């Protein structure tokens, strides 16, 4: 797979009906050779720990400047929505910042809907900038506390549903789920096998 650095663990591949390839890899999302990476941001786009901190550290200060301008213009980034910035020093051209739900702030059904909205709004944002390849972290499964076993099928079905309802969007060739730890990698890999 050309999109991965050689240090990354082999991915499980699958094929959606729209010829967009879905895959799961274990590694650091900041190192992927994709057009766009998704950031699990907060509603203030203020940076923080986890994947958000890793992305800003790797991308450099220009990305945070763009985030501040977006917040200055729109006030906040509501849960489930996405905004796009450039990607600073990353290989990627774009960072799609999406705001996942905090598990304990909502009931489980609302949390699931909001998490699904993250995937669909990020895909919509990605196609607006003509991204052909988009990499997602496991949104909300870290500091925000969304149970990983519940988040994985939401991630996969949200992407598959979005692809099915956007068959006229041929530019997207690859969607990659990037898991930092081995357990989440195995959960996502098994979920993708089961649902595709």
Does residue 135 touch ligand ADP according to CB under 6 A?
no
Parallel, antiparallel, or unpaired for β 133-137 and 174-179? Answer: parallel
SS3 of residue 46 by DSSP: coil
Helix axes 148-165, 108-128, angle to 10 degrees: 40
Terminal alpha carbon distance of the chain: 19
By the 8 A CB rule, do 94 and 133 touch?
A: no
Applying CB under 6 A, does 80 fall inside the site for ligand ADP? no
Q: Which of 51, 87, 50 is nearest to 66 (CA)?
A: 87
Size of the site for ligand ADP (CB under 6 A): 21
Applying CB under 6 A, among 121, 180, 189, 191 the residue interacting with ligand ADP is 180
Q: Is 52 known to be catalytic?
A: yes
- Binding status of residue 115 toward ligand ADP by CB under 6 A: no
Q: Which stretch binds ligand ADP (CB under 6 A): 12-20, 126-134, 142-150, 166-174?
A: 142-150
Instruction: Tell which one of 94, 144, 162, 177 touches ligand ADP (CB under 6 A).
Output: 144
Binding site for ligand ADP (CB under 6 A): 28-30, 40, 50-52, 54, 100, 137-144, 178, 180-181, 184
């Amino acid at each position: 797979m050309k999109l991965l650095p050689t240090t990354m663990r082999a991915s499980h591949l699958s094929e959606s009906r729209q010829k967009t390839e879905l895959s799961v890899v274990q590694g650091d999302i900041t190192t992927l050779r994709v057009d766009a990476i998704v950031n699990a941001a907060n509603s203030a786009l203020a940076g923080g720990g986890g994947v958000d901190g890793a992305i800003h550290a790797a991308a450099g200060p220009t990305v945070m400047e763009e985030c501040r301008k977006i917040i200055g213009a729109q006030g906040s980034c509501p849960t489930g929505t996405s905004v796009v910035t450039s990607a600073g020093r990353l290989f990627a051209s774009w960072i799609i910042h999406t705001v996942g739900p905090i598990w304990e702030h909502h009931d489980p059904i609302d949390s699931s809907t909001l998490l699904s909205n993250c995937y669909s709004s990020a895909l919509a944002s990605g196609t607006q900038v003509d991204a052909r390849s988009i990499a997602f972290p496991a949104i909300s499964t870290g500091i925000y506390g969304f149970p990983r076993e519940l988040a994985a099928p939401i991630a996969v079905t949200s992407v598959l549903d979005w692809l099915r309802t956007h068959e006229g969007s041929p530019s997207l060739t690859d969607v990659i789920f990037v898991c930092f730890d081995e357990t989440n990698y195995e959960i996502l890999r098994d979920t993708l096998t089961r649902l595709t």
